[in-house]
Structure 1
């Protein structure tokens, strides 16, 4: 995924499904470098991870 699309998803009020290696995640924030995003799993677990935005995929 590119940085422009990550920013669009973050600013959208719509529920846009994004996956990280086949697992649905929410994007929490985009880091200043534009290459890393903080995400957490959809569902009851709030575990957050920092991932490369190139590994994110819109479904």
Structure 2
């Protein structure tokens, strides 16, 4: 994923599925200048990681 898409997902009112290493995550912050994102893994608010946005994958709906 690129920084612009991560920012779009973060700002979106829609629920857009994003995965990190195959696990669902919520984007909590995007640091565009450094290409990093802070994400919460799963439903545990204490499981937070800062990763490169290139490691995030948007899960597109299958038709």
Tell me the TM-score normalized by structure 1.
Answer: 0.89
Contact 2:39–2:49 under 8 Å retained in 1: yes
What is residue 41 of structure 1 aligned with on the other side? Answer: 41
Unaligned runs of 5+ in 2: none
Query: Is 1:54 aligned to residue 54 of structure 2?
Result: yes
Distance 1:12 1:28, change over 3 A: same
Q: CA RMSD in A?
A: 1.1
Counterparts of 1:20-35 in structure 2 under 5 Å? 20-35=20-35
Runs of 4+ in 1 over 6 A off after TM superposition: none
Unaligned runs of 5+ in 1: none
SS in 2 for 1:15: coil
- Cα separation, 1, equivalents of 2:32 and 2:55: 17
Report the structure number with the largest CA radius of gyration. 2
Contact 2:3–2:32 under 8 Å retained in 1: no
